[in-house]
Structure 1
Amino acid sequence: MNILLVDDDDLILASVPSLLSVLGHQVESVDRGAKALALLEASPEPDLVILDVTMPDMGGVETLKRLRVFKPRLPVLLATGNVDAAVEEALQGDPHTRVIPKPFTLGQIRTVLAET
């Protein structure tokens, strides 16, 4: 599976691609929502986007809203430690978006990827 990881945390950007590689996936990483949108418009579509909810400039929920304009069916995992009202609203009526708790374990990400 080709995965786009979007997170501003250096530790996540350093560790999660390694975890996903162990599971046999290819990962491209960016640290901002705007970079993710630009990449998605210019590059072949990944199989999945893992999108951090809390990022500076443009958070995950706003990135998701903008992404849905041109990629309405692209599977997205919103990674968050807190499912707030904005996340709940983003999930409503969007069968292609799910939440994964943050931080997540190798077992959790393996299970979610198998279901995606």
Structure 2
Amino acid sequence: MTFTETMEHVATGVELLGVGVLVVGIAWSGVRAAIGWAQTSDGRRTYAELRESIGGSLLLGLEILVAADLIKTVAVAPTVDNVLVLGLIVLIRTFLSFSLQIEIEGALPWRRGRREAGSIPGASPTRGS
């Protein structure tokens, strides 16, 4: 087996891992939400926890899929066209990850620490409070 074939298999394995993280993470989030709702009947809290859990699964899955794309492009077929397509894919997935992180945490990443410390006037330390 050549190096290129090996890297193709590695990239496929990493892609499968990323998809698995997405599927299992979303399913697990649903199960946890159903159990939480059955125990507390607090729909708002359960919904917030479900969104946070699904968002975390999506973030992790996207990061793994970006890694698979990098392996595929750099190790398997490093043509200019493939690198440009990879750049576009990474930009789109980075934007999605950034948007998801803001949606989950309720603040820009560089403002999270100040918000948690309460140094932003009028900002509450937790989302929804």
TM-score range, shorter chain: under 0.3
Give the alignment's TM-score, normalised by structure 1. 0.25
Flag the structure with higher helix content: 2
Give the alignment's TM-score, normalised by structure 2. 0.23
